[in-house]
Amino acid sequence: MARPSFRAAAARLRPRRRPRAPLATLGTAPRPWIRALGLLAVVVLGAWLGLLAVGSVRAPVGPMDTTMTLRPSVSGGTKINVSPLGALRLDSHHAPVRLDVDVDQLDPERSQALVKHPERLSGLQDEVTGDVAAGTRELAVRSCVAVVTGATALGLVVYRRPRRALAAGGLALALLAASGVSAYATWNPKSVLEPKFSGLLSSAPSVVGDARSIVTDFDVYQQELARLVTNVTKLYDATSTLPVYQPDPATIRVLHVSDIHLNPAAWHIVHSLVEQYEIDVIIDSGDTMDHGTAAENGFLDPARDLGAPYVWVRGNHDSQATQDYLKKLKNVHVLDEGSAVDVAGLRVAGTGDPQFTPDRVRPRGGEAAERRAGRELASALRAQQRAGTPVDIAVTHDPTAARETDGAVPLVLAGHVHHRVNELLPQGTRLKVEGSTGGGGLRAVQNEKPEKVRASVLYMDRSTRHLQAWDEITLGGLGLTTAEVSRHLPEENLVKSTPSPSTPTPSP
């Protein structure tokens, strides 16, 4: 009898496998509606990621550069972000997508072209309409590519089947097309007459003024500010022809600015002056903000890229949060409680305003608080002098505090009052108060008489670190396109035979 083979014996010992039951019998097959919901989730998420990655379009609109983006939304509409004012929401359409428009900046070349050719202003409305239409068309094409690519890519990652991935891309395109049809069918052009405000526009209308009028006039305001920037480019040549004092190339040049009050155009003006006058250090005597809220902090970011060190003291419209934010910025030096910094060959000390009154209501005893802060600063200045590190320039916000430093420092700078003051104090300290470099800020769009934009260039002797001369730069406010610069000398530097120290030179 033949022995059974080893393989046959092993086969008999293996347990017999039971036949598998169909998946439907076990209840493991997903239901069709679950598969549909999963596919829809993949499509929506992939389309959203695609829009985030490549769905934005940079489009010029008149003299401004904007960024247009489509975003998934339940209610639809249009959101226009106008930094630093806040945002406007328009009930422009009802669809599962929202149009976001970010106003990035004013383009200098296109603005200057409008200034040089005023006749183009008459066609500006048509130009803006054409720009918006062109930007919208480009955005539609890019959005289609973005949602199809995003949904297809995510579908391929999730399902690992090309057919299912292509189905996801096709469904994304169909949904976007349906959203476009819905937006077109529900388009409401009258929505621009009833915008909803957010951010600074709605948080403090009683402080800034009526928010609606500011937003309505903001495009005009931006155009007028562009003319101011254009006029700044003419100042340096005018200054070089002024008599009396010719600054040496080795002279330390200080740009004194103050009371910007949240005016975005001020940064363009300051940057232009830094380049043309070869400024060594910028000193800001406060009130850079208007309310001192955390929402305003992003407005301060350009301070680090102005081309020169930026020395700052707190004004009564600047909060402690404002000060803390500026301390974190590169190239910015914050002075408070008599602290000092060596910058550009000068030693500068200063203190912040002891009062925070963004609502412009000065409490009782306000001047006493300013005088007390000034005396504390004077004490710190004298301590520096005794230590062998004398201060060349002191900085406060309120002139009341600045006057308390008389005799403790050669030069003290201030702001606050929105007009210039030049005074030699009894004990020999020169007080220089600067006007508003922001032209009064956002309130300029409401003033019947526009407030001028003011800044000064101080020429300091590098060896003695004393003030030798200064140029007062004045730009016309809203609705004006004038620019002038006048040169001045301290009384002790004047010679009887010299011509008049003030020679205003308006730009053409």
Question: Mind listing the pLDDT tens digit for each residue in 121-164?
Answer: 555 556 666 777 787 788 888 888 888 888 888 888 888 878 88
Q: Which amino acid is at 58?
A: R
> 38-52, 315-329, 379-393, 493-507: lowest mean pLDDT where?
493-507
Q: Residues near 465 by Cβ (< 8 Å), separated by ≥ 6?
A: 252, 345, 346, 347, 392, 410
The pLDDT assigned to 493 comes to 66
| pLDDT given for residue 328 in this prediction | 94
Q: Where are the beta strands (DSSP E) in 264-385?
A: 281-284, 310-312, 332-334, 339-343, 346-350
Encoded tokens for 471: 């140029």
Tokens 């060896």 belong to residue:
463
* Token code pair at residue 226: 């562009």
Contact between residue 444 and residue 477 where contact means Cβ atoms under 8 Å apart: yes
DSSP symbol at 173: H
Question: Considering only CA atoms, which of 220, 268, 143, 286 is closest in space to residue 444?
Answer: 220
Contact 375, 392 (CB under 8 A): no
Global pTM value: 0.57
Q: Has residue 406 got a pLDDT over 70?
A: yes
Number of alpha carbons in the 13 Å side-chain half-sphere of residue 393? 34
Report residue 329's pLDDT band, with 50, 70 and 90 as the boundaries: very high
Give the list of residues 6+ apart from residue 334 with CB closer than 8 angstroms, or none: 312, 313, 314, 323, 326, 327
